[in-house]
Structure 1
């Protein structure tokens, strides 16, 4: 016996003892747990007649410490039908007795009878089920006086939600244990709920981002961004329900911009949104392959883009259509193309020479103002350079000489032939990583132009999202920034949204066109920021002092979601499968199978 006692003394304490309080002082309506935590528990006995989605979220956003516990027991259909029949019999009997005595009908009984009839019909048709729900609250405070103040505040909040909170008098221990994550209901004060009311009890919306229609009781739409850092509620956001569908994601390097963008892309695909991505670092290739998307590898051998292509759309019946001013628009777009290629605006004489040369180049290819000629093979950039070299007006020869590296020199591969791909699909990723740095701005511009053709196709009626990662590549040039601004203004009319992500925040904010693009974005996500940029960001986005400090100290994946005047701090949340598809962590990528690793390298003997 002594040996067994010594052995027991030598054994370490169980892991459960680490979470067990040293002492509990039990009162009639409260407990003192561990000598410094005063708690009081309540059971909800009265509920509102009608509820909306996320109606319990205000309890979770209470600034004090409050535990909210839901205990749910399903009721089998046979028992539910029997109970409903008995309840209806009681209500109808009471109504008839009241009518026989000539008394006024009780409006509460009338409402309960109507609800019981409606519920019985839905249960009989299999449109819902019945559940027993117990809702309990536990309030925490540091002192007994502070507990009384917190209890009064929580009961007032519950009353504003039409909830009747009754203290668990002389059952304070049972009430406290019921709110612990143990799955035990020792109070047993439950109410019958149907499926619709029970589903609305879960906090699937954030009260900081109100729904577009506050009167709607429908389930929240949009994309799940993560969970609210101020509560346990989830943050849903629907960009398609706002005035415009544009958005920007701003954050320093390593803050999680691409991760969050890919997460929104993946979840938007579930809703049937068509997505086009401009990917400068080849970060979206694995995601595209996993979901059966289209991958366009610019810079690879044999992949060409012709900036002189006319925007021709093919309708569902096989007919090909184009805007009435397609040729004029393409001629004007070529001015932007050359300005981005050269990195500066063209002079007046160069613009005049280019305008005449473009018209002559199309005529040489048999393309005129007659729309019937627009389906012919478009000329190439080399044909335009040859036309400029053959003309005598001022500036033509200078333009031809400046175009030489892009038509017959080191950078001619991208423009060496007709466009090789017509990207279509639910997810199209345009990779720019293998383009030389000198061609990345023009590659971004031409890809945006290709995407805009798809977006402006009148034969397709579905929401489309255009994602431009590392937007600073295009904003670095005046012509590229102007094109992006025009696209941001016109996207809403095509049921499209423009999502921009960048880490060069100061350059973005100091550009007049950059500020204009932000002004045309109804959704803004701010991730961790550098101290050098926080002052300008706080001024542009009207941030409070607390929000400034949050953005300076935010962990990876934490950010501030802004929709109009509403701000909510959140933590992005991804499942293990989603994390595997969207992560850009070098440690994870290094352990991928060879079939999933980058194939852009070749063996050199």
Structure 2
């Protein structure tokens, strides 16, 4: 119609005149796509596919790294397709970016088949596990030149707070811990970082050998984790932590060991994120926290999450939280701040929390109904300022589907 604008305009007007010969039938769904601002599309060059736009049928091609911050939250009721969505994203990002690194916190042992199929490392964390990673592992950085006892002091102090209770930590304890750390890391530094890293057992021995009474009290509190029945984190690392896809399986953790395990695991992830950025600034790091409400229960791990959602962007890292209940996020200050700092939000099927979601993101009545009646794999994607209803059904007769699904009877 480039040279027939006036004729086309008069043909479209409701006075019954046809000034052009071409005739085209359009259904309502196709016509709505022509109305300005009625539909939104996401077609980011170099992105990955998140499904189809439920209004126009076009593919949604997005990339979280192109947003102001690439942090994400995936919320849905049980069975809404959260795990399938996240696993598909991990699979596509892993294949698309061959230098990117991935860390998955897996409380329900759902990600192991995918990680193993991709050649990743599954670290089973429990009292009787055969796999171990040492939270006192240290990799020297020539750029910052920070000594190991300085880098690990805050973690060990937090560990003691977790074991002894914050109210029982005295003002001078940090100095005692710092002295013990300097002693156990001395052989490592003298070897120019070729000797094995010390463990929590070494820290316990160093504190116990100090002559003052308070050091022995701290050592006594650490003993059960150093030589006792909960010494899962007092062993040298025996898994390949250099793998670019690592899954921490914490399903078998008991309640007593869980806070210490969370702290040790998050310390490793935090160190890895900063180390990855220094080694290769262009390679992104993706961190996934499934059932994130488990981490929000503890103040120390909740504080780590709060800091991560604000700082990860500076290290070319992107955090993703997965949860069932939006209401828990709205009533928890830390979780609410994480939602506010997430430019990418995936809302799958909602039931009891639907009104909270509507209020939080200003959804319209049709969008509310779409979420309420959504089938697994259907929902709304918020990417930046765009809110797009989508569907992403997966054929069930493929090896990929059987690898990703968590439904009983469908897994291999």
Alpha-carbon contact 1:279-1:432 (below 8 Å) kept: yes
Structure 1 partner of 2:117: 290
Q: SS of the counterpart of 1:516? A: helix
Post-superposition Cα deviations, 1:19-76, rounded to whole Å, max 9, x if no partner, equal xxxxxxxxxxxxxxxxxxxxxxxxxxx579xxxxxxxxxxxxxxxxxxxxxxxxxxxx
Q: SS of the counterpart of 2:256? A: helix
Structure 2 partner of 1:415: 233
Q: Is 2:132 the partner of 1:304?
A: yes
Post-superposition Cα deviations, 1:538-581, rounded to whole Å, max 9, x if no partner, equal 33333334333332332222121112331111122335332122
Alpha-carbon contact 1:312-1:375 (below 8 Å) kept: no
Q: SS of the counterpart of 2:51? A: strand
Aligned equivalent of 2:340, options 519, 529, 542: 519
Equivalences for residues 520-599 of structure 1 within 5 A: 520-531=341-352, 533-575=353-395, 576-589=398-411, 592=412
1: CA distance, partners of 2:302 / 2:111: 23
Shift of the 274–308 alpha-carbon distance from structure 1 to 2, 3 Å rule, reads closer
TM-score between both structures, scaled by the size of structure 2: 0.81
Alpha-carbon contact 2:73-2:339 (below 8 Å) kept: yes
Displacement after TM superposition at 1:210 (Å): 4.2
Structure 2 partner of 1:163: none
2: CA distance, partners of 1:361 / 1:305: 21
Displacement after TM superposition at 1:445 (Å): 3.4
Alpha-carbon contact 1:262-1:582 (below 8 Å) kept: yes
2: CA distance, partners of 1:524 / 1:466: 15
Post-superposition Cα deviations, 1:138-191, rounded to whole Å, max 9, x if no partner, equal 3358xxxxxxxx9xx959949x9xxxxxxxxxxxxxxxxxxxxxxxxxxxxxxx
1: CA distance, partners of 2:131 / 2:137: 15
Q: SS of the counterpart of 1:335? A: helix
Larger radius of gyration: 1
Alpha-carbon contact 2:43-2:60 (below 8 Å) kept: no
Aligned equivalent of 1:450, options 264, 268, 279: 268
Q: SS of the counterpart of 2:279? A: coil
Identify which range, 332-341 or 253-262, moves more after superposition.
Answer: 332-341
Displacement after TM superposition at 1:529 (Å): 2.2
Shift of the 289–155 alpha-carbon distance from structure 1 to 2, 3 Å rule, reads closer
Give the number of the structure with larger relative contact order, counting CA–CA contacts within 8 Å between residues 6 or more apart.
2
2: CA distance, partners of 1:398 / 1:365: 18
Displacement after TM superposition at 1:479 (Å): 0.9
Aligned equivalent of 1:473, options 294, 304, 313: 294
Shift of the 534–367 alpha-carbon distance from structure 1 to 2, 3 Å rule, reads farther
Q: Is 2:123 the partner of 1:336?
A: no
2: CA distance, partners of 1:154 / 1:250: 32
Q: Is 2:193 the partner of 1:352?
A: no
Shift of the 544–207 alpha-carbon distance from structure 1 to 2, 3 Å rule, reads closer
Aligned equivalent of 2:319, options 498, 502, 519: 498
1: CA distance, partners of 2:323 / 2:170: 32
TM-score between both structures, scaled by the size of structure 1: 0.57
Alpha-carbon contact 1:307-1:334 (below 8 Å) kept: no
1: CA distance, partners of 2:252 / 2:148: 31
Structure 2 partner of 1:433: 251
1: CA distance, partners of 2:321 / 2:72: 6
2: CA distance, partners of 1:240 / 1:472: 25
Equivalences for residues 23-422 of structure 1 within 5 A: 46=1, 137-140=24-27, 157=34, 208-211=40-43, 220-272=45-97, 273-299=100-126, 301-312=129-140, 323-324=145-146, 326-341=148-163, 346-347=166-167, 350-367=169-186, 376-388=195-207, 399-412=218-231, 414-422=232-240
Q: Is 2:288 the partner of 1:464?
A: no
Structure 1 residue runs without a partner (length 5+): 1-45, 49-134, 142-149, 161-205, 213-219, 314-319, 593-605
- In the alignment of these two chains, the number of paired residues is 385
Structure 2 partner of 1:485: 306
Alpha-carbon contact 1:527-1:559 (below 8 Å) kept: yes
Q: SS of the counterpart of 2:88? A: helix
Post-superposition Cα deviations, 1:56-107, rounded to whole Å, max 9, x if no partner, equal xxxxxxxxxxxxxxxxxxxxxxxxxxxxxxxxxxxxxxxxxxxxxxxxxxxx
Q: SS of the counterpart of 1:574? A: coil
Structure 2 partner of 1:114: none
2: CA distance, partners of 1:449 / 1:157: 51
2: CA distance, partners of 1:233 / 1:567: 14
**Which is strand-richer, 1 or 2?**
1
2: CA distance, partners of 1:154 / 1:550: 20
Alpha-carbon contact 1:350-1:399 (below 8 Å) kept: no
2: CA distance, partners of 1:239 / 1:247: 8
Structure 2 partner of 1:62: none
Shift of the 359–534 alpha-carbon distance from structure 1 to 2, 3 Å rule, reads same
Alpha-carbon contact 1:411-1:439 (below 8 Å) kept: yes
Alpha-carbon contact 2:153-2:181 (below 8 Å) kept: no
Q: SS of the counterpart of 1:355? A: helix
